[in-house]
Amino acid sequence: MSHPSPRRTRDPARKQAAILAAARAVFAERGYENATIREIARRAGVTHGLVVLHFSTKEQLFVAATTPDPESLFKGVLDDDVTKLPERIAASFVHRMEASDGADPVIALIRSAAGDQQAAKALLQTLQQTAVDGYARVLDIPDLATRVNMMGAHLIGVAFSRYVLADGPVAAMSPDELIARLTTTIRTILFD
Amino acid sequence: MSHPSPRRTRDPARKQAAILAAARAVFAERGYENATIREIARRAGVTHGLVVLHFSTKEQLFVAATTPDPESLFKGVLDDDVTKLPERIAASFVHRMEASDGADPVIALIRSAAGDQQAAKALLQTLQQTAVDGYARVLDIPDLATRVNMMGAHLIGVAFSRYVLADGPVAAMSPDELIARLTTTIRTILFD
């Protein structure tokens, strides 16, 4: 038995990782309001009590599960050649979203904004702060936070049409066309 | 009694208008999933049965209540001077949203995307088609639908941060600053 199923693991770190992975999937599929700790526990193969022991509340589990790792978020994006930054941001966003199978923080964010909004606000703040901190490493412009937040708003809107509702021309265009259009818009938002 | 309260009106057209106004408010406040016909009926001062008689289902009531009137949507926006179109779109959007008190179709759209998405898709299609039809009256560009839908995605993302979650720099900036930033982005999306 060299590959124990995640449903049967006894390793605490593995259990925690299994809970977070199950939470990401359930929050993305159902939205924050309709997600339950019970279903997350079931999918992770652990007890309801263990999830509560590790994460206390649904909101805390949501933030822990959906907060992206900055290193993976900015992989290949931050670079001294700032003139090509819009291309790299656009390509990284589209490739990440296309591969995410719906379990991306931006999707979770959109699907958590319907009901009680504390969880959604906490996630938006985390995402935007992570983005501002990252771009501050390569960009030195006075209204950086505002520009990065406007860019974030743009990407949220595109994700809404293309990946959440998946409807209309924004959803139908090829990844390459989307990258080209986003590159132009991101360049304007960051530098014009 | 020259000003009968809307709770007591006997005029069918008025009752229908009262139902639609109550529906707009309830869908915007609670999101699609949490809105109930019962609460909409109560706020409109009519019976549950009358709402069902007029609109059959919650989804049909949602689409009827949130579909914007194209004339009011494009008031002051469509004009032969196309060079200033981005300014007029940006100003119209911001003024409409600032005055909407949360009861705008774009807010309803965002707050309906968490659960069952048929209602949200129907509303997104209606909003985008209305926009494409409107701008086709003054713009003659081959990929108009794609550009208008990308602009729509941008406005949805801005509304998400500023008017739904109401958090961060996008929510904090003045209406005039937002109009100036949107004008630049919209010009790029429509014409670059």
d(CA B43, CA B65): 14
Query: CA-CA distance, B120 to B13, in Å (whole number)?
Result: 26
Domains and CATH numbers, chain A: 12-57 (1.10.10.60), 70-191 (1.10.357)
Q: What is the CA radius of gyration of chain A?
A: 18
Q: Tell me the C-alpha distance between A78 and A135, whole Å.
A: 7
**Structure tokens belonging to residue B90:** 């940006």
Instruction: Tell how far CA A131 is from the center of its chain.
Output: 11
Nearest Cα residue in chain A from B165: A121
Contact with chain A for residue B189, Cβ under 8 A: yes
Q: Which tens digit of pLDDT belongs to each residue from B149-173?
A: 999 999 999 999 999 999 999 999 9
Confidence of residue B4 (pLDDT cuts 50, 70, 90): very low
Q: Write down the pLDDT at residue B8.
A: 53
**Mean pLDDT of the residues in chain B:** 89
Residue B5 has pLDDT above 80, yes or no: no
Interface of B with A in 126-185 (CB under 8 A): 128, 145-146, 149-150, 152-158, 160-162, 164-165, 167-170, 173, 181, 184-185
Per DSSP, the three-state class of A70 is: helix
| Average pLDDT over every residue of A25-50 | 92
Mean pLDDT of B64-89: 88
Of the candidates B31, B112, B168, which has its C-beta nearest A149's C-beta? B168
Contact B31 A114 (CB under 8 A): yes
Rounded-to-integer distance, Cα A182 and Cα A154, Å? 9
**How do residues B30-72 score in pLDDT, each as one tens digit?**
888 889 999 999 999 999 999 999 999 999 999 899 888 888 8
- B29 close contact with A: CB closer than 8 A: no
Q: Does the complex come out with an ipTM higher than 0.90? A: no
DSSP conformation letters of B94-147: HHHHHHHTT-SHHHHHHTTSSS--HHHHHHHHHHHHHHHHHHHTT---TTHHHH
Model pLDDT, residue A118: 86
Q: Do A111 and B112 touch (CB under 8 A)?
A: no
What pLDDT is recorded for position A7? 52
pLDDT at B112: 86
Q: What is the pLDDT of residue A4?
A: 47
Q: What is the pLDDT of residue A8?
A: 53
* B58 interfaces chain A, CB cutoff of 8 Å: no
Which whole number is the average pLDDT over B16-34?
89
Q: How confident is the model at residue A34 (pLDDT cuts 50, 70, 90)?
A: confident
Q: How far is A45 from chain B (nearest CA, A)?
A: 25
Q: How confident is the model over A183-187, as a mean pLDDT?
A: 97
- Closest residue to A157, CB basis, from B111, B154, B168: B154
pLDDT tier for residue A2 given thresholds of 50, 70 and 90: very low
Closest B-chain CA to A162 = B153
- pLDDT single digits (tens) A50-109: 999 999 999 999 989 988 888 888 988 998 788 999 999 999 999 999 998 777 888 888
With H, G, I as helix, E, B as strand and everything else as coil, classify residue B53. helix
- Is the Cα torsion angle A66, A70, A71, A76 positive or negative in sign? positive
At A140 the three-state DSSP class reads coil
* Predicted confidence (pLDDT) per residue in B94-132, tens digit: 999 999 877 788 888 898 887 768 889 989 999 999 999
Position A101 scores a pLDDT of 78
Interface test mutation site (partner A, options B30, B126, B151, B170, max chain A beta carbons within 10 A): B170
Residue found by looking up tokens 């898709």 in the block:
B121
Q: What are phi and psi of A101, to 5 degrees?
A: 55, 35
